[in-house]
Every structure is written in structure tokens, then in C-alpha cells.
Amino acid sequence: MFWQLYLAMMALASACTLIVFVVRKSVIPLGMASAGLWSVLALQARNIEVYHQDGSSTMVGSEPWQYISLGLALLTLGTVLLYWWGVFPPEDKQVVGQEAR
């Protein structure tokens, strides 16, 4: 995978994840897109090809980044499932520990 494409996919996955966890809008479609993008990034983390100006290319990769991407994919997929079941986002009264009236 090309380095520029990898960075673009990482920016899109980060934006989707941020919207899901902070803004909490369109959780299911953006969460699934985010989980899919993080999964692809985890699978391609060791196969990043960087082209140089002299025409040569280098294959680079990072094993720790592969596990971080996999963790983010599982986290967003879990969030989508919890949202589907009605658990995420929690109600404010339950988070604080007050009784629902």
C-alpha cells in the first residue's frame, strides 16, 4: 500500500472515530466505516511502500502500530454493538450514580 494512501485512510479513520466517540452522531454507519478502515490499516501495517524521488522504493512497516490499529478496530466495532443494543451512550443519571426519577 502506498504511504500517501495509508495516511489518507488513517486520517479518515481517525475522523470517523472522533465523531463516534466525541460527537456521538451517526454511530452505526461511521463506527462500521471506522472499524473497517482500522482493520485495513492493521492488515497493511507491515506492507507500506514509500517511493523516493530517485525512483526507488522502500518497504516499511510497524508491528506495534498493527496491534494499535487492531485495538482501535475492535473498540469501534464494540461501540457499534453497544449502541445497537442500547447501552452506548450511557444516560447521564446512571453515569453520575443518581437514581432515575
Q: In terms of pLDDT, which residue wins out, 35 or 24?
A: 35
pTM for this prediction: 0.82
Q: Residue 97: its pLDDT value, please?
A: 57
What percentage of the chain exceeds 70 in pLDDT?
A: 90
Rounded CA gap, 20 and 37, in Å? 14
Q: What is the pLDDT of residues 1-20, one digit of tens each?
A: 888 899 999 999 999 999 99
Q: What is the pLDDT of residues 19-29, one digit of tens each?
A: 999 998 899 99
Average pLDDT over all residues of the chain: 88
Q: In terms of pLDDT, which residue wins out, 101 or 59?
A: 59
Nearest CA among 100, 93, 99, 3 for reference residue 48:
3
Q: Residue 2: its pLDDT value, please?
A: 85
Which residues are CB-contacts of 36 (< 8 A; sequence separation ≥ 6)? 73
